[in-house]
Amino acid sequence: MKSSYRTLMMLAAAMLLSLPSSAQNLWVFSKKHTAAFEKTWPKDHYIPATQNGKGRITAKDAQGNDLASYELDGDRAVARPFMTGSYFLFEVPSDKLPAGSFVDFNATITIEDGAPMDWVLEVEDGGMWREGKTFRCYGPARGSAYRHTSLYQTFRLEEGVEDMIRFRVRALEGYVRPSKGAEKEGGAMFVSGSYLGALVNDFGTAAPKDTLKVLCIGNSFTYYCGTPAMLKEIAWSEGHFVDISASLKGGWTMAKHLSLETTDDMIAEGGWDYMLLQDQSLVPAKVGRDPKGMAQQIKEMEAVAVKVRTLSPECKAVVENTWAYWKNDFGSFKSLDDFDKNGKKGAKILAKAVGNAEVSPIGQAFRIVRAERPDINLYHTDKHHQSVLGSYLKSCVNYLVLYGQPFGDSVSDCLLDPETAAYLRSVAERVVL
């Protein structure tokens, strides 16, 4: 009898922590998804969820009125002008959520010249707006000097909501950069391509049993398909809260992150439990092939870790061993196997230099899947970056490195085919545990 009761309680907990796909609303801003909003945004001024859910995004001024223009810039949805008090509004239909419910928000935005730099994320709770994290958007929105801002926050509702989850991303008073004579300026937009557009989740009412504050520093091998949000969702479904922040810029090395304002802002927050360090994709393998020739790159990763630990002295480090790929003749290596072998060796060298660091063996996981399941494509169309499946595998590996325990029975599939997701989790367990 006691055993049956215990089993029922475990099942109930699993049900509370599981994330039904209907509760998830996903917005992806890419050429593939433009058709979902290319008419509704300019004409009716809303963006429906592009891939899952029935939510919508609008943009308003401080008084709740429409802005002057709603345009598509390629596959980007832009609203202008954004001034103090202007906001993006996210509305997601839901069942009644009681007090104590957890709702989750993730998005990546950027601004044009002339828009406010300081912003706040808010959730509607019991008919009132409650402030969450404040953040800074630096811009510019385009060009090689771009800087995008990714937001990740989970709220616990104090009052609950009746039938709609609402979030606002609102511009605050703050420094507005002077005009540079741009033809169009003052806009804010969702980032196109492979950055996570936006993701809203209902995480249920079950409180996580612990919290880890995790800082991701990396580039496109992290931001493609929203791996930080996936990591958070996987951890939550296992009963853990990963309070995550990420400074991500395409092609960026650790050396460049040392002088990037967005990275400095996050490091300055302090209190980090873990840092996930993902260097330029060739660096681990090049270090493995020629440690002496790559001595400067080793010092630069060490310098990033030292900088983080200045305000977070107990922060542990995880050095990601990224995957081999075909681009540029296997990244100048002889083969995928040679790429993998040197990457594994180099990641260990980098981890030793950082100190108190573990290696996340993502490359080894990719290698196993390539050999065992060639039907599972872990790569983007460029055969370089990760696909959604590759992002899930990476997130699973990182989760296991952080927590060191096998997956339970109710792990989130992150909208993937359940059988495929289960197999990827099993591979992650093989290389980590």
What are the pLDDT digits (tens) for 310-342? 999 999 999 999 999 999 999 999 999 999 999
Size of the chain in residues? 433
| 10 occurs within a structural domain | no
* Averaged pLDDT for residues 3-28: 49
| 48 occurs within a structural domain | yes
CATH code, 97: 2.60.120
Choosing from 172, 198, 224, the residue where a domain stops is 198
| 14 occurs within a structural domain | no
Does residue 16 carry a pLDDT above 50?
A: no
Contact assessment for residue 148 and residue 219, using Cβ atoms and an 8 Å cutoff: no
Number of domains in the chain: 2
Whether residues 86 and 192 share a domain: the answer is yes
| 12 occurs within a structural domain | no
Whether residues 184 and 247 share a domain: the answer is no
Contact assessment for residue 407 and residue 398, using Cβ atoms and an 8 Å cutoff: no
Whether residues 32 and 177 share a domain: the answer is yes
What are the pLDDT digits (tens) for 44-75? 999 999 989 999 999 999 999 999 999 999 99
Choosing from 179, 198, 217, the residue where a domain stops is 198
Which residues lie closer than 8 Å to 292 by C-beta, 6 or more apart? none
Whether residues 400 and 351 share a domain: the answer is yes
Domain membership of residue 416 as a residue range: 208-432
* Averaged pLDDT for residues 340-345: 98
CB atoms within 10 A of CB 314: 9
What are the pLDDT digits (tens) for 234-284? 999 999 999 999 999 999 999 999 999 999 999 999 999 999 999 999 999
Does residue 360 carry a pLDDT above 80?
A: yes
Q: Which residues pair with 129 in a beta bridge?
A: 124
Q: Which amino acid is it at 186?
A: G
- Residue of 334 and 21 predicted with greater confidence: 334
pLDDT at 113 (0 to 100): 87
Whether residues 103 and 181 share a domain: the answer is yes
Whether residues 339 and 372 share a domain: the answer is yes
Q: What is the pTM of this model?
A: 0.93
List the one residue out of 45, 18, 35, 170 whose CA is nearest residue 109: 170
Choosing from 137, 171, 198, the residue where a domain stops is 198
- How far is the first Cα of the chain from the last one, in angstroms, to the nearest whole number? 34
Whether residues 232 and 157 share a domain: the answer is no
Does residue 3 carry a pLDDT above 80?
A: no
Mean of all residue pLDDT scores within the chain: 92
CATH code, 235: 3.40.50.1110
Whether residues 72 and 129 share a domain: the answer is yes
What are the pLDDT digits (tens) for 413-433? 999 999 999 999 999 999 999
Secondary structure element (H or E) that encloses residue 338, with its range: helix 336-354
pLDDT at 353 (0 to 100): 97
Whether residues 63 and 100 share a domain: the answer is yes
Distance from C-alpha of 161 to C-alpha of 91, rounded to nearest angstrom? 12
Q: Would you give the DSSP letter of residue 66? A: B
Whether residues 32 and 136 share a domain: the answer is yes
| 5 occurs within a structural domain | no
Q: Which amino acid is it at 151?
A: L
Beta-carbon-side half-sphere exposure of residue 327 (alpha carbons within 13 Å): 13
| Structural tokens at position 251 | 């092609």
pLDDT at 14 (0 to 100): 35
Q: Which amino acid is it at 216?
A: C
| 111 occurs within a structural domain | yes
Q: Which amino acid is it at 247?
A: S
Query: Residue 143 — φ and ψ, nearest 5°?
Result: 85, 175
* Three-state secondary structure call for residue 340: helix
- Residue of 174 and 89 predicted with greater confidence: 89
Whether residues 171 and 313 share a domain: the answer is no
| Structural tokens at position 176 | 């507005």
Which residues lie closer than 8 Å to 39 by C-beta, 6 or more apart? none
Q: Would you give the DSSP letter of residue 393? A: H
| 40 occurs within a structural domain | yes
| 121 occurs within a structural domain | yes
Whether residues 213 and 171 share a domain: the answer is no
